[in-house]
Amino acid sequence: MKKTLFGALLTSAALTFGAGSAAYATECIAPANPGGGWDFTCRQVGKLLYDLKLVDQPVQVTNMAGAGGGVAYTHVVTERNEAADLIVAASSATTTRLAQNAFAGMTADQVRFVGAIGADPGVIVVAKDSQFQTLGDLVEAIKADPGSVTFAGGSAAGGFDHMKPLQVLKAAGFDDIRSVKYIAVDGGADAITQTIGGFTQAMTGDMSETIGFLKAGDIRILAVLTEERVPGFDDIPTAREQGFDVVAVNWRGLYVPKGISDEQFNDWAAKLQAVADSAEWKQVMMDNGLAPFTKVGADFQGWVDQVVAETVTLSKEIGVIQ
């Protein structure tokens, strides 16, 4: 039944994708319904590709929802493997699901990840009156007594939010990560409320979820999980500068079919870099709360490969996959 339903969704999506596509030179698949991050990526990047004259015609955006991105991924791998005019919106959720075998046997090496040009930074948050003043304080408390700290997050156990503090702890040399307590709730706001209310000692999530609470003075952000401090929030230190070499961001980017040539892949990388460098994209990021995070071409593909490998290892350690 599941396979039949998945196939039906894929067939329907493929038919939708094909309809009217001849009028466009480039197509961007958003692996979800209109609205949300993947749709945002396709529409904003697609618009700027045309506005900046990086493509000759407007970019067609096709919404191909299903299986948390799996329908679109399977379609690209099986039907469009050599389509040089195709780009697909992706994010940290894409690589996490691939690492955890959530796409019905599909693997991350069946496409090429061409670039990311913005991100919602990961954060570790405590209540304003928490005893933990630094990320190091929190890590040391967990090392001393793993049961003394519970994290709340908006993703399911084993999801991206859950992985963030585990990466920090691994970077600190703590290997007993199954002992780390994590409670999954319905979204980042609920996770913060749990922490403010004292039901959990820390929250793990994305920066965009925390801004209102931060401005209200209800929380402190112990660390932002970016390479550099986030513009406009320069008083919040990174995990790296506190001695924990972890970058965990919900990046906004694209993948392309694996079967295209290196020249075509590099051409897409150059176009995405041009979008990232534009004043128009910087305004889009500012308007939508995205932090700078630009990796394109082979640099990004290599980074994704590393992230997927780390996610596989962590997922096995906590029992999400075998």
29 assigned to some structural domain: yes
Q: Per the structure, how many domains does the chain have?
A: 2
- For the chain, what is the largest distance between any 2 Cα atoms, rounded to a whole number of angstroms? 62
Find the CATH number of the domain harbouring 101.
3.40.190.150
168 assigned to some structural domain: yes
Domain final residue, candidates 205, 223, 242:
242
From residue 284, give the alpha-carbon distance in Å to each of 41, 211, 295, 300.
11, 18, 17, 21
Overall average pLDDT of the 108-126 stretch: 96
What's the confidence (pLDDT) of residue 151? 98
Whether residues 286 and 173 share a domain: the answer is no
> pTM value?
0.80
What's the confidence (pLDDT) of residue 273? 98
Whether residues 193 and 278 share a domain: the answer is no
Rounded to whole angstroms, how far apart are CA atoms 126 and 18? 48
Its domain, for residue 238, covers 121-242
Q: What is the DSSP letter of 230?
A: P
Whether residues 11 and 83 share a domain: the answer is yes
pLDDT in tens, 235-288: 999 999 999 999 999 999 999 999 999 999 999 999 999 999 999 999 999 888
What's the confidence (pLDDT) of residue 3? 40
322 assigned to some structural domain: no
Whether residues 90 and 126 share a domain: the answer is no
Overall average pLDDT of the 228-232 stretch: 87
Q: What angle in degrees, to the nearest 10, is found between the helix axes of 160-171 and 297-317?
A: 90
135 assigned to some structural domain: yes
Domain final residue, candidates 198, 217, 242:
242
183 assigned to some structural domain: yes
pLDDT in tens, 22-44: 446 899 999 998 988 899 999 99
User: Radius of gyration over alpha carbons of the chain, in Å?
Assistant: 20
Whether residues 129 and 228 share a domain: the answer is yes
Nearest to 182 by CA among 168, 173, 171: 168
Whether residues 126 and 236 share a domain: the answer is yes
Whether residues 103 and 54 share a domain: the answer is yes
Domain final residue, candidates 225, 242, 259:
242
Whether residues 197 and 58 share a domain: the answer is no
Characterize 281-294 residue by residue with b for buried, 16 or more Cβ atoms within 10 angstroms of its Cβ, and e for exposed.
beebbeeebbbbbb
How many other C-beta atoms can be found within 10 angstroms of the C-beta atom of residue 121?
Answer: 29
Please report which confidence band the pLDDT of residue 137 belongs to, taking 50, 70 and 90 as the band edges: very high
Computed over every residue of the chain, the mean pLDDT equals 90
